[in-house]
Amino acid sequence: MAKVLVKGNEAIAQAAINAGCQCYFGYPITPQSEIGEYMGEHLPEMGRVFITAESELASINMVIGAGTTGTKAMTSSSSCGIALMQEALSAMCCAEVPGVIVSVMRGGPGLGNIAPAQGDYFQALKGGGNGDYKIIVLSPSTVQEAIDLTYRAFHIALKYRNPVMLLADGVLGQMMEPAEFGEYPYKDPDVTQWALDGANNRPARNIVSLHMPEGEMEMLTNRIFKKYEEVAKNETTYEDYLLSDAKLVLTAFGSVARVAKAAVKRARDKGMKVGLFRPVTLFPFPDKDLHDTAKKANMILDLELNKGQMLLDVRSAVFGACPVEFYGRPAGGLLTPDMIYNKIAELYAKLENTTKTEAGVR
Amino acid sequence: METLVYKRPESLLKDGHFTFCPGCGHGVVLRIIAELLDEFNLQKDTIAISSVGCSIFLEKFFNLDVAGASHGRSPCVATGVKRCKPDKFVFTYQGDGDAATIGFNETIHTACRGEHITTIMINNTNFGMTGGQASATTLVGQVTTTTPAGRKAELTGYPLHAAEIISKCDGTAYAARVAITSTKNIIQAKKAIKKAFEAQINGLGYGFVEVLAACPTNWHMTPVESVEHIDKVIETVHPLGVFKDITAQENK
């Protein structure tokens, strides 16, 4: 299939259709409304389900209904809309209901603004829902990757019976880029062993999230955390960009990573040994790989469009193997290649000085 | 000659025992639902959606597939299920705290969309499971744990009349309020729930039946006093009746 020029939000919508998404339930919010508009145009004519729900509470709970029948379903929203879905995401993890949630981040807190931002890393990864649970979070940094990860989101949602979030931001949602759809590359698991379709020739089933008997919730939680270990083993993904000899390693996810790449290139041209470690899966976070990378590096520079959220996972992974610096702008402030390059140059000069001083002492 | 006068419905679990308080209305309504599902031969083709409150433990009583929903969101879960499995029978079982208070927005929109599902709402005018706090349907003057001096209209307004409001939605095929305070009323209640089920089976739209039911524990009344309280007091505020039946309109 040939490459096409496509907007990020529409690419995600078309990829969902290609992935066999039978239902879309959503509520409009900038900067992701094109997803719902695209679904509203295409799903009904394909005989699939499209509903503009009365709220984000309603849309995610409709996804739950579809998910309990083993049907591929999706919702999409942004920041304050995703905030309304947190109770349901916790319930989905508990009841093991699959579903795909697209989060196209805007500026926050509060209603914030409609500029691109990454302030919802905590929201996606550390949850606003109750209890011990994890949603799987995939972070695309190009329109092509948004397509590929949308395919993957639908597959692993069914594979692990867990909600999967595609965490994009306003830059990626609104930008146009050449990309290729190809075909949905996965073979999905059989759902007939657990899905609800009426107790016909089998005992009645239930998919619920209340477990009152003593010890039952503890056992269930331990079991789903075993599952998360499997997810970490099988799904952890990151991009290694010029890391092999990097003394200064940048960490960044999503749209910031692509800006960081441009700055890394420029620094390399100037002879600085700089690389980029880009987590593609945010849960599972590539902590072992980042730790190994940090052991070989002299410093990590974490770049984010927020006040330092992935930073906590980066520090936890690095675990003292080398110093970690942070550079970011919140709530709609963007990082340009120049700004990142200047920060690289500043830190790299410090590194060189430190290395020289240490050599002198020896 | 022996005549079978009592048969446990197939739609109830053989070893399922109702765990409600003495005099509670839930058991009667669950039994009516189970009998009707048997009569329509729907036990193998039904997905029940439970809610939050005393209405939650459906999977412990029904021999049916059950999906659980968060507080107030059963109609949304039911919408998702029904749109994916349009040939299955889907109903929500909710209380007034769930369907008329935290989830009334969802109830109204489900009705307006004309979803082919059925909602049975038990109205006992309080949050039963959490110990009897005031809900949206609580009567003015009613003593609850959050209105110990009685609900005062000037402070917390007036009770919400769910069945009447739902009847005004264009997607509603059937909306009624019934009681289960006497044999006659139980028969009427079963007829109403049957009508609401038929609305779904015949693809006519949303069916909503509000059932006035006793909550002796939280009302601090005996079961007998509770039944009298429904007939003499609650029905004056939440009157019984069929507020919409599009099949009756067709027959005119």
Contacts of B20 (CB under 8 A, 6+ apart): B26, B27, B54
Mean pLDDT of A216-239: 97
Domains of chain A in start order, with CATH, are 4-235 (3.40.50.970), 239-361 (3.40.50.920)
Contact A54 B83 (CB under 8 A): no
Contact B83 A23 (CB under 8 A): yes
pLDDT digits (tens, 9 = 90+) for B167-185: 999 999 999 999 999 999 9
pLDDT, mean over chain A: 95
Residue B11, domain member (yes or no): no
Residue A355, pLDDT above cutoff 70: no
Mean pLDDT of B1-27: 90
Residue B249, pLDDT above cutoff 80: no
Number of domains, chain B: 1
Q: Grade residue A118 by pLDDT with cuts at 50, 70 and 90.
A: very high
Q: Which residue from A23, A205, A206 is facing B84, i.e. has the nearest CB? A: A23
Q: Is A51 on the interface with B (CB under 8 A)?
A: yes
- Tell me which range, A201-215, B12-26, B113-127, is most confidently predicted by mean pLDDT: B113-127
Q: Is A202 on the interface with B (CB under 8 A)?
A: no
Residue A216, pLDDT above cutoff 80: yes
Q: Which residue from B65, B79, B106 is facing A199, i.e. has the nearest CB? A: B65
Q: Is A88 on the interface with B (CB under 8 A)?
A: yes
Helix pair B183-201, B26-39: axis angle to 10 deg:
50
Contact A65 B65 (CB under 8 A): no
How far is residue A354's CA from residue A357's CA, in Å, rounded to a whole number? 5
Residue B174, domain member (yes or no): yes
Residue B102, domain member (yes or no): yes
Residue B161, pLDDT above cutoff 80: yes
Question: Tokens standing for B249?
Answer: 């309109």
pLDDT digits (tens, 9 = 90+) for B84-128: 999 999 999 999 999 999 999 999 999 999 999 999 999 999 999
Q: Is the pTM of this model over 0.90?
A: yes
Nearest-Cα residue of chain B relative to residue A199:
B44
Give percent above pLDDT 90 in chain A.
91
Residue B219, pLDDT above cutoff 60: yes
pLDDT at A258: 95
Residue A362, pLDDT above cutoff 50: no
Which one of B40, B79, B90 makes the best mutation probe of the A interface by having the most chain A beta carbons within 10 Å? B79
- CB distance B221 to B231 below 8 Å: no
pLDDT digits (tens, 9 = 90+) for A134-155: 999 999 999 999 999 999 999 9
In CATH, what number is assigned to the domain containing residue B172?
3.40.50.970
pLDDT at A332: 86
How far is residue B193's CA from residue B206's CA, in Å, rounded to a whole number? 12
Cα of B43 to nearest chain A Cα, Å: 7
Following DSSP, what letter does each residue of chain B receive, concatenated? ---------TTB-TT----PPTT-SHHHHHHHHHHHHHHTT-GGGEEEEE-SSTT--HHHHBSSEEEE--TT-HHHHHHHHHHH-TTSEEEEEEEIIIIIIITHHHHHHHHHTT-S-EEEEEE-SSBTTTTSB--TTPPTT---SS-TT---HHHH-----HHHHHHTSTTEEEEEEEE-SSHHHHHHHHHHHHHHHHHHHTT--EEEEEEE---HHHHT--HHHHHHHIIIIIHHHS--EEEEEHHHHHH-
**SS3 (DSSP) at A299:** strand
Residue B169, domain member (yes or no): yes
Q: Which of A350-359, B26-35, B67-76, B193-202 has the lowest mean pLDDT?
A: A350-359
pLDDT digits (tens, 9 = 90+) for A161-188: 999 999 998 899 999 999 999 999 999 9
pLDDT at B2: 79
Residue B15, domain member (yes or no): no
Element housing A187 (H / E): none
Q: DSSP assignment, residue A96? A: T
Q: Which of residues 42-71 of B touch A (CB under 8 A)?
A: 43-47, 49-50, 56, 58-59, 62-70
Cα of B36 to nearest chain A Cα, Å: 16
pLDDT, mean over chain B: 96
Q: Which residue from A23, A61, A206 is facing B77, i.e. has the nearest CB? A: A61
Residue B2, domain member (yes or no): no
Q: Which of A30-44, A253-267, A341-355, B188-202 has the lowest mean pLDDT?
A: A341-355
Residue B163, pLDDT above cutoff 80: yes
Give percent above pLDDT 70 in chain A.
98
pLDDT at B34: 97
Residue A99, pLDDT above cutoff 70: yes
Q: Which of A326-335, B102-111, B189-198 has the lowest mean pLDDT?
A: A326-335
Residue A1, pLDDT above cutoff 90: no
Q: Which residues of A touch B82 (CB under 8 A)?
A: 65
